[in-house]
Structure 1
Amino acid sequence: MTTSSLPILDRDLQSGDLTLKLAEIAEEAARLILPFWRSGTAVETKSDDSPVTQADRAAEALILERLAALYPGVQMVAEEAVAADGAPTQTDDWFWLIDPLDGTRGFVRGGEAFTVNIALIHEGYPVAGVVTAPASETTWRSDRPGGGALRRQYGAVHEGEAHAGAEWRPIAVRDRPQEGVALLSHSITDEEATRLAARHGCTHWQGTDSSLKFCLIAEGRFDAYPRTGPTSEWDTAAGQAVLEAAGGRVLAEDGQRFRYGKPRFLNGPFVAIGG
């Protein structure tokens, strides 16, 4: 990191300006992605058998360019760059984790639950994060440290007329109801989903894709997201930042706060929980 970037980065983090800037970048990437959605865009298969499209690559290029201009020298770890060039062998104290299009499989199917994720990691933990859902034109972000979490709908209803929901509104997790509801990945069986939900005190569950699960818990609409299957760090970091800012937690199998900068940026099992 250049010596000039760290003071600016930390200043923006402490003031809350950082995630405002990240939201603008994520929403710009979302507008870039949308024309590819439900358009029959070509799909390639990466070495790990996951899909990638031109939308993933275009959005990542935009995000990397914008971040480098704002905070030159801060290490960037982004999904498609890692797929192309390999993962860094070590991380700096401060680094970005970027998933330009989380939920690509659902995006290719025409589903709506895909997101743009940008997170800032400091000494192993997410300290700022933004998640944008292009299909619903919705963004969630952490505020300054200790400042809570916020949500807005950034689209316009009519040309030249701002959407009433475009203002940032605070969100928070809910107290666990008597019959909690879990969010689960579509990649598991109904039997496993029922078992996982019950293990975390939830009598009902619903399947959905992408980091949207963290944000829906942060809004107080759901209660838990247990995950046993493999994920990458860029899949979870931004959502964790939003959820923790809203009063939730993301815990590893040992009950400790979920951390980042692990070998090959691969996650083990975790549970994201609300109140």
Structure 2
Amino acid sequence: MSLPIEPAVVLEILDEASREILEVYERDDFGVEHKADDSPLTEADRRANEVIVARLTERYPDIPVLSEESKEVPYADRSCWERFWLVDPVDGTKEFIKRNGEFTVNIALVENGVPVFGGVARPTEGVIFFGGPELGAFLREKDGKVVTLDQSARPHFRELDRITVVASRSHLTQEVTDFVEDLRGKGKEVEFLSAGSSLKLCLVAEGKADVYPRFGPTMEWDTGAAHAVVLGAGRQVNIAETGEPLVYNKENLLNPWFIVE
């Protein structure tokens, strides 16, 4: 399968959005508001969203965009989309407000429910994770060097005696604690690694973590871009209850619990 888009174009858009975000990040006042669900929204979210949606629409006018910060698209309209952009302008707004740098910009291209390309930028570090199942996975470092991420030969986490589990910095649940304790009960030595936003999926793609159990709420735009990178690196994102692959453009955009393995 050949991609209908140019990865370099997406990386340029991520860089432009990152610059917009950092302009706000360096201020004393982020312009924080709260949405209907009480989740925070900053000027950075709005500015990044405007840049991303505008640039994607200019370059690829035939591919619709679904973004966390844009007007909701009814399922009756998007159910017929075979291909679309899935965007989270600032994933980890709570991390942004805390100024810990662990927030990302996520752009994914989804085809028939599968993320076929994704780019995940970490503005404060100047790096971008990108890739997809047919492309492979890569890390563009701050100096522009591109490193290949290939975990296809890495054993499944349950085959390891020592396991690095990555979990959320802001949303640790009892179920994740139970997951870790279950591994320890089976004689596994477990190291616990905490991170914010979609960086958790990228840590598995990068090989710094063996598994990411997400037993808490996420939306499709939270995971799509990093999911593509994980697939490119030779790992999987599976629904915790069924073991089936996580899919996109569902009627309900809320993800079920999943495991990156």
Q: Which residue of 1 aligns with 2:208?
A: 221
| Residue in structure 1 matching 2:22, options 22, 30, 34 | 34
| Residue in structure 2 matching 1:197, options 180, 203, 214 | 180
| Residue in structure 2 matching 1:119, options 91, 104, 108 | 108
Residue correspondence of structure 1 range 1-275 to structure 2 within 5 A:
13=3, 18-39=6-27, 40-81=29-70, 85-90=71-76, 91=78, 92-142=81-131, 145-154=133-142, 163=143, 166-173=144-151, 174-175=154-155, 176=157, 177-189=160-172, 192-199=175-182, 203-252=190-239, 253-273=241-261
Query: TM-score by structure 2 length?
Result: 0.88
| 1:63 CA drift (Å) | 0.5
Deviations 1:114-157 (A, max 9, x none): 000000110111011000000111101105x5331111123xxx
| 1:42 CA drift (Å) | 1.6
Query: What secondary structure sits across from 1:263 in the alignment?
Result: coil
CA distance in 1, matches of 2:32, 2:131: 32
| 1:266 CA drift (Å) | 1.1
Q: Is the 8 A contact 1:197 1:204 kept in 2?
A: no
Query: TM-score by structure 1 length?
Result: 0.84
Deviations 1:79-123 (A, max 9, x none): 011xxx334324201011000000000101111110000001101
Query: What secondary structure sits across from 2:55 in the alignment?
Result: helix
Q: CA RMSD in A?
A: 2.0
CA distance in 2, matches of 1:76, 1:204: 38
AA in 2 matched with 1:62: V
| 1:178 CA drift (Å) | 2.2
After TM superposition, where is structure 1 displaced by more than 6 Å over at least 4 residues in a row?
none
Q: Is the 8 A contact 2:176 2:215 kept in 1?
A: no
AA in 2 matched with 1:24: E
CA distance in 1, matches of 2:69, 2:171: 25
| 1:192 CA drift (Å) | 4.3
Q: Is the 8 A contact 1:87 1:265 kept in 2?
A: no
AA in 2 matched with 1:167: K
Q: Is the 8 A contact 1:38 1:108 kept in 2?
A: no
Percent identity between matched residues is 37
Cα distance change on mapping 1:107 and 1:101 into 2, 3 Å: same
Q: Count the aligned residue pairs.
A: 247
